[in-house]
Amino acid sequence: MRLEAKTPYEFVIPREGPMRVPGVVYATRDLIPEAGHDQALQQVANVATLPGIVTASYAMPDIHWGYGFPIGGVAATEVAAGGVISPGGVGFDISCGVRLLAANLAASELGQCLGRVMDALSAAIPRGAGPGGVWKLADRAELEQVLAGGARYAVSQGHGNARDLDRCEDSGIVAGAEPGQVSSRALDRGARQVGSLGSGNHFLEVQVVGQVRDAPAATAFGLAEGQVCVMIHCGSRGLGHQICGDHVRLMDAVMARHGIWVPDRQLACAPVLSAEGGAYLGAMAAAANYARANRQLLAEATRRVFATQADATLDLVYDVSHNLAKIETHEVGGRPARLCVHRKGATLALPPGHPDLPPELRTVGQPVLVPGSMGTASWVLAGVAGGGAFGSACHGAGRQLSRHQAARSVSGAVLRRRLEAAGVAVRGASARGLAEEAPEAYKDVDAVVAAATGAGLCRQVARLVPVGVVKG
């Protein structure tokens, strides 16, 4: 596949034939996977065939292969023009996202009690692939309350405070959730996992602000050099996974009736305004609310640990998803248009002045949270005016080795010793899980962030370094 360089940070994938919507990859050459070894570039091109697509199929610099869309993929379809919604443009872990909390604690103060904090977090944070969660729901009716109310419902039940909701995307709740569109199997899978990390690349990490690059924004976010933070990365667990699979099958069965053809069945889709499109939107919103409640509960469990083990409090900096489709209004061809914007492994990045931001963040823009790989830095970025890809930015470092390749490259025990020698306390669910998430399995997060900021998608606010990690 041929790439045409437009700028040092943007490459265009030409598309021949009647569908000439291009693919655009925001990356330096070394961050783009080779076509012979990774199908991600072909996925960018495939996404450009979706009915109603607007402008281009985009990919962030952390691009790598995913289900349907590449991870790092962004695409918008125009609702009024028969635009579609595709579960493959959201993924299995619906509303997977990142939450960042800032402590009233300096790194020098944490050092005295880091071991106790990490041991207590390891005991308090449920993780792994199976059941188990912080919140033991009374019955299915209470689960449906979670699906309808998200983090807002969790706070109403005593799990957090009103300020938390001000610092959440969508104030902690996605409108339009329809628990009735969620299958019994999905409900069963979600009932016993509320308030849990899961497995794979999900984590809870204790960090320190190593550098501040934008002092006014950092101050507005509540961050300062040397400050202790906690970053939580997780999503909608088995419930979201089941919803994705259920609705891919439903859409695959009706595409022909809607006159839709796609080059990859993982891009199964339906018009946003169809019955099938509406059903998925309702179920997806329910899963997004589950994910936001999930992170809210884990944040509260973390607060209790810091209160008892370090005599410290934690304030929420921000919580934002990176696997979601949203109905948004953007300017297209000089006119406002209602679009269905898919962000698959890509983060919403609202610019300064956006009305959806709380007043204290409106002058500086939305926090964009970009975790690195285990043992490497993470970043706090901010949205900018005129950012591309419908106001989107990268979401992480991006894989460059499969889990199998990573596990063959290093043992979990060796990796643990290496990380702890570098000053990172590790609490992992399994040795195999640690090896699969080795730092060398990921791209250089600093290079990914440099590409994203160089492309004008966001700006740098602060660089965070890890001191302890609880792995799923």
Per-residue exposure over 362-381, b if at least 16 CB sit within 10 Å of its own CB, e if not: bebbbbbbbbbbbbbbbbbb
Query: Top-level CATH class of 4-400+442-471?
Result: alpha beta
**Is 247 annotated as catalytic?**
no
**Residue 329 three-state SS:** strand
Of the residues 241, 342, 395, 404, only one is catalytic, namely 395
Digitized pLDDT (tens) for each residue of the chain, 472 residues in all:
678 899 999 999 887 666 678 999 999 989 988 755 578 999 999 999 999 999 999 999 999 999 999 999 999 999 999 999 999 999 999 999 999 999 999 999 998 899 999 999 999 999 988 778 899 998 999 999 999 999 999 999 999 999 999 999 999 999 999 999 999 999 999 999 999 999 989 999 999 999 999 999 999 999 999 999 999 999 999 999 999 999 999 999 999 999 999 999 999 999 999 999 999 999 999 999 999 999 999 999 999 999 999 999 999 999 999 999 999 999 999 999 999 999 999 999 999 999 999 999 999 999 999 999 888 999 999 999 999 999 999 999 999 888 888 888 888 889 899 999 999 999 976 888 888 888 888 999 999 999 999 999 999 999 999 999 998 7
Strands 458-471 and 425-427 turn out to be: parallel
What's the token pair of residue 428? 């992992």
Instruction: Spell out the domain ranges in the chain.
Output: 4-400+442-471
- Answer positive or negative: Cα dihedral of 461, 465, 467, 470: positive
Characterise 217 by phi-psi region: left (phi > 0), alpha (psi -120 to 50), beta (else): alpha
H-state helical runs in 126-214:
140-156, 162-166, 184-191
d(CA 216, CA 362): 12
Q: Which helix (H) or strand (E) holds 413?
A: helix 412-421
Helix (H, G, I), strand (E, B) or coil at 32: coil
Residue 153 and residue 146 in contact, taking contact as beta carbons nearer than 8 Å: yes
Which token pair is 200? Answer: 């794979």
Distance (Å, whole) CA 424 – CA 183: 41
Give the pLDDT confidence score for residue 186 in this predicted structure: 97
Q: Which DSSP letter does residue 168 get?
A: B
Q: Scan for tokens 């005016």, then name that residue.
A: 385
Task: Phi first, then psi: give them for residue 4, nearest 5 degrees.
Answer: -105, 120
pTM: 0.96
- Residue 18 exposed, middle or buried by CB count within 10 Å (0-12, 13-18, 19+): exposed
Question: Which residue pairs from 404-410 have beta carbons closer than 8 angstroms and sit at least 24 positions apart in sequence?
Answer: 404/436, 405/441, 406/435, 406/436, 406/437, 406/438, 406/440, 406/441, 407/432, 407/435, 407/436, 409/435, 409/438, 409/440, 409/441, 410/435, 410/438, 410/440
Q: What is the DSSP letter of 146?
A: H
Helix crossing, 184-191 with 140-156: angle to 10°? 50
Centre a 10 Å sphere on the Cβ of residue 404 and count the other Cβ atoms it contains.
9
In which residue are the tokens 């919403």 written?
348
User: Which pLDDT score is estimated for 113?
Assistant: 95
Cβ–Cβ < 8 Å for 289, 190 = no
Sign of torsion, CA 375 91 53 15?
positive
**CA pair distance 148, 173, nearest whole angstrom:** 8
